[in-house]
Amino acid sequence: MGSQGGFGQSKEFLDLVKSIGEARSKAEEDRIVLNEIETLKRRISEPDIPKRKMKEYIIRLVYVEMLGHDASFGYIHAVKMTHDDNLVLKRTGYLAVTLFLNEDHDLIILIVNTIQKDLKSDNYLIVCAALNAVCKLINEETIPAVLPQVVELLGHSKEAVRRKAIMALHRFYQKSPSSVQHLVSNFRKRLCDNDPGVMGATLCPLFDLITVDVNSYKDLVISFVSILKQVAERRLPKSYDYHQMPAPFIQIRLLKILALLGSGDKQASENMYTVVGDIFRKCDSSSNIGNAVLYECICCVSSIYANPKLIESAADVIARFLKSDSHNLKYMGIDALGRLIKTSPEIAEQHQLAVIDCLEDPDDTLKRKTFELLYKMTKSSNVEVIVDRMIDYMISINDNHYKTEIASRCVELAEQFAPSNHWFIQTMNKVFEHAGDLVNIKVAHNLMRLIAEGFGEDDDNADSQLRSSAVESYLRIIGEPKLPSVFLQVICWVLGEYGTADGKVSASYITGKLCDVAEAYSNDETIKAYAITALMKIYAFEIAAGRKVDMLPECQSLIEELSASHSTDLQQRAYELEAVTGLDAYAVEIIMPADASCEDIEIDKNLSFLNGYVEQALEKGAQPYIPENERSGMLSVSNFRSQDQHEASIHGLRFEAYELPKPSVPSRPPVSLASATELAPVPEPSYPRVTQNVASVPSVSSADPSDLRLRLDGVQKKWGRPTYTPSETSTSTSTSEKTVNGVTKVDAARDTIYSKVRDTTYDSRKPDAEIPLEKQKLAASLFGGSSKTERRASTTGHRAGKASSHVIEKPQASKASDKTVAEKTIVQPPPDLLDLGEPAVLSRSPSIDPFKQLEGLLDSPQVPSNSNHGAAGANKDSDIIGLHAETAGSGPSSGIVNPVPTNKNDLDLLSGLSNSTTNNALGGTPTAHSTQVSKGPNTKDSLEKDSLVRQMGVTPTSPNPNLFKDLLG
């Protein structure tokens, strides 16, 4: 390897550094580094490399990575070096891995165990090296692995270890605040550490914590003030001085913290006045670090509760900054002045000439900062001078990013402080002309709205003068080449709306200009659309006024060109223009009223203009229109059957709820087959399919007809576990009921627009006699005038908003009340050998036979069903076939609605069931208080009924012959 060079490195490594430094091109440098990479790949893979040589190879790998080349082949060797017991090699390994790896690298897992071991080392230098690696390499997932050891090191005897432990905890807080939230009290304790370095390191995490939550640390104001006072009085060791300033970086951090704690808090601010004033008096302004401390003092004074003496001291410091020959100090003075005028606007008047000098300085950065200051101190008396200066500067620069910022500020100031609408329009024209493509499209819309609405007062003459001046200015500008697209849109719209309003300019002249615009910008469809619409408005206004319309040849050719355009929008506009020119004056006046761009559009929801057409159609025999909410009871039985058969043929599922069956004859026992065949379910509008448990049982005599249904109380379910819920009157609202009965409420977001009010008061002072006259006039225009700021309340600040009324229709939902059965008894059903589930749960049965309810269901008079669209459950009516799938809990099939039977076998089944229930009601002896369900062993009848059920479209989930024996046995 040759003889050793300086710092124990080989001559080969020193020659590498020298050759790279002497490289004349990037290509030559890359060639040298690639050769070095090949050499390192070959040598680092050799066996039994001495540790000293490996250390040098790792350093050369770091050098290769620093030059932008990949040295990943040596990462693992750096990781291995961290495991070495030698202090120098271990520190070299930690240095290399912190530079090579990021926190998400795959090799991090190999270092965690080494870090844990080194954090417990007796050698504090090894502990410090491990803590450095913790700050760089530990990610959010591995924080818990090392957090206990780091917290334990907060009480280490060496101040360097304590300081690095604080830094590691701060890093943990930045990565995962929740992981160290319970350790925040340790930062408070370390604030009182005997070593100033540990205390200074604690200020950084405390600053982050205070930024998030100021109120939780108000009690530390006294402690921070005391520490700052001790630092300012030079009570810290001399080793903390920097350019003869006592611990300046600790002072800066403390001033930042005090600015946060004293903002808007008079009591906390009063504790800071003395120490901040002492820093103003004692701080040395001859060095950069002293000026940095003074600047931070000004920022603190501008943030805390205002104090006149401190503001005066800050103004003196700002004066020294602005009078300095250094551009850096001038920049800092302008920035500090911009902060201070928020609390004391009159300060700017004292430095008006210095501000003007900065505005004319060739340093572009200083000039931009000065424009920011002028932007903050703008008012109605100086807005014209400031905006004109900003527009001139915007024209002179080529940076589109900053040009956009200047243009937006010009627009904002013009909207807020414009002395007149005429000046506002002229200013907007300049902004659009020189930065139109960089301006937000909303600015163009605001300008068009201002021209349309005028001053917002009942002064028609002023509004007409405003529009006339806008038309004249746009006719002068429209001929200029390369105008921005947004500006041309505004010009076309204004010329179309008000070009011929005052009669000063002929329609043919304006239409010729618009045709020239459309031809010049033939590639921009938006401009062509605005131009053709403006032509249509001009011709419409001419026709409505009774004047003869002579279409220019170029206009005619433009219409023909757009009629064959590939753009459907341009085609439609061209055809509309041709159609409008062929109408009479009365029709055109109705279609295109003059000066109606801001009028509210009235919408005829009833479409009354179609009444004549509808009457003619009815006279010719057309069927009258039936509203959708009245169609549910209009279908006949035959139509419903054909519809059901069609749905069955296409194997479609119907998910709407069952309607109440309506008998066609008055209620009288017994029910015959004829009456049963007249039963026709009436479809209702489809509802969302929901599943809910029946919580109450209404009685037949008092229930509303829409709530009549079969009663299943006391009937044991055959399949699955007996999760039957007793039918008790429930007053509590369950989760499922909230799902069914809940109404989603959408709270309308209320947007509140606050306008910032700047009160900038200035007292005009006479400049010195030796100041040039031109500079005196500029200073008077910028800083003189009224002290009251006049801001416009609206977006454009030039008109009053128009209120529009909106009709909100609220649907009303009807509610039906149910009466529950009073007397209930507990019935123990007989055991069933086929039921393999858990023992049946005791259930309560109603005091009346549930099958008697069918008699009332079949004999009830025909009552129209009112669909309930409100919060009530949409699937309350049950049918006979639905009992097959119904369960007490919310199972997968509990919400499925089966098709209504319509064939002959279905009707026979219904008829037989009706007769059986009627006979029971007339000849039987029902029990008064309880109902015992008998289960017959007749398998043949059960199989026949099962086959009937299959014909009706219901397929049992398992081959149980006793499927319906509870109902039909």
pLDDT tens sequence across 886-932 = 433 444 333 333 444 444 444 343 344 344 444 444 444 433 343 34
**Hunting for tokens 């900065």 — which residue is that?**
358
Contact indicator for 169, 186 with CB cutoff of 8 Å: yes
- Residues 6+ away with beta carbon under 8 Å from 555: 511, 512, 515, 535
Mean pLDDT computed over 599-609 = 80
The answer to which of 27-31, 336-340, 965-969 has the lowest mean pLDDT is 965-969
Taking alpha carbons only, the member of 307, 269, 275 closest to residue 293 is: 275
* pLDDT tens for each residue of 63-72: 999 999 999 9
3-state SS, residue 242: strand
What six digits make up the tokens of 187? 């930062």
Tell me the HSE value of 175 on the side-chain side, using a 13 A CA sphere. 21
| Residue 730: Cβ-neighbour burial (10 angstroms; 0-12, 13-18, 19+) | middle
Q: Round the average pLDDT of the chain to a whole number and report it.
A: 74
pLDDT of residue 398: 87
The answer to which of 257-271, 501-515, 530-544, 786-800 has the lowest mean pLDDT is 786-800
717: left (phi over 0), alpha (psi -120 to 50) or beta: beta
Give the integer Cα–Cα distance in Å for 51 and 732.
Answer: 78
Bigger pLDDT: 49 vs 867: 49
Does residue 521 fall inside a structural domain? yes
pLDDT of residue 862: 44
| Residue 432: Cβ-neighbour burial (10 angstroms; 0-12, 13-18, 19+) | buried
The most confident of 235-249, 659-673, 910-924, by mean pLDDT:
235-249
pLDDT of residue 420: 83
- Residue-level length of the chain: 969
Distance of alpha carbon 942 from the chain centroid: 62
Give the other-Cβ count within 10 Å of 724's Cβ: 19
Q: What angle in degrees, to the nearest 10, is found between the helix axes of 159-175 and 124-137?
A: 10
* pLDDT tens for each residue of 211-238: 999 999 999 999 999 999 999 999 999 9
Contact indicator for 406, 394 with CB cutoff of 8 Å: yes
Does residue 510 fall inside a structural domain? yes
Cis peptide before 663 (omega within 30 of 0): no
**Hunting for tokens 């009073």 — which residue is that?**
822
pLDDT of residue 745: 40
Taking alpha carbons only, the member of 730, 657, 743 closest to residue 694 is: 730
Tell me the HSE value of 935 on the side-chain side, using a 13 A CA sphere. 15
Contact indicator for 905, 849 with CB cutoff of 8 Å: no
Bigger pLDDT: 314 vs 914: 314
pLDDT of residue 534: 93
* pLDDT tens for each residue of 806-859: 433 433 433 333 433 333 334 444 444 344 444 444 444 444 554 555 444 444
What six digits make up the tokens of 933? 């369900």
3-state SS, residue 334: helix
3-state SS, residue 166: helix
Give the integer Cα–Cα distance in Å for 265 and 277.
Answer: 18
Give the end-to-end CA distance of the chain in Å, rounded to a whole number. 106
3-state SS, residue 331: helix
Whether residue 247 has pLDDT greater than 90: yes
Mean pLDDT computed over 381-390 = 89
**Which of 438-445's residues contact partners 24+ apart within 8 Å by CB, and which partners?**
438/400, 438/403, 438/404, 438/407, 439/404, 439/407, 439/408, 439/411, 439/484, 439/486, 440/408, 441/486, 443/411, 444/486, 444/487, 444/489, 444/490
Give the integer Cα–Cα distance in Å for 968 and 911.
Answer: 12
Give the other-Cβ count within 10 Å of 435's Cβ: 23
Distance of alpha carbon 406 from the chain centroid: 28
Most distant pair of Cα atoms in the chain: their distance:
126
* pLDDT tens for each residue of 677-736: 344 444 444 444 444 443 433 444 444 444 455 555 555 555 545 444 444 444 443 333
- Cα–Cα distances in angstroms (integers) from residue 538 to residues 493, 520, 547, 580, in the given order: 11, 20, 11, 11
Give the integer Cα–Cα distance in Å for 638 and 630.
Answer: 19
Does residue 404 fall inside a structural domain? no
What six digits make up the tokens of 674? 């004829």
Contact indicator for 460, 414 with CB cutoff of 8 Å: no
Does residue 484 fall inside a structural domain? yes
The conformation of residue 566, written as its DSSP 8-state character, comes to S
- What is the DSSP code string of 277-318? HHHHHH---SSHHHHHHHHHHHHHHHHBS--HHHHHHHHHHH
Does residue 961 fall inside a structural domain? no
Does residue 230 fall inside a structural domain? no
Does residue 482 fall inside a structural domain? yes
Sign of the C-alpha dihedral computed for residues 54, 59, 64 and 70 taken in this order: positive
Total tally of structural domains belonging to the chain: 1
Contact indicator for 387, 427 with CB cutoff of 8 Å: yes
Bigger pLDDT: 55 vs 817: 55
Q: How many helices (H) and strands (E) does the chain have?
A: 41, 4
Q: Given 3-state DSSP classes, what are the helix, strand and coil percentages for the chain, each rounded to the nearest 5?
A: 55, 0, 40
pLDDT of residue 477: 87
pLDDT of residue 702: 43
pLDDT of residue 118: 95
Does residue 540 fall inside a structural domain? yes
Bigger pLDDT: 451 vs 272: 272
pLDDT of residue 548: 81
3-state SS, residue 36: helix
- Residues 6+ away with beta carbon under 8 Å from 452: 497, 595, 597, 598
- Residues 6+ away with beta carbon under 8 Å from 870: 811, 812, 813, 814, 815
**Which range of residues forms the domain containing residue 578?**
472-591
pLDDT of residue 332: 94
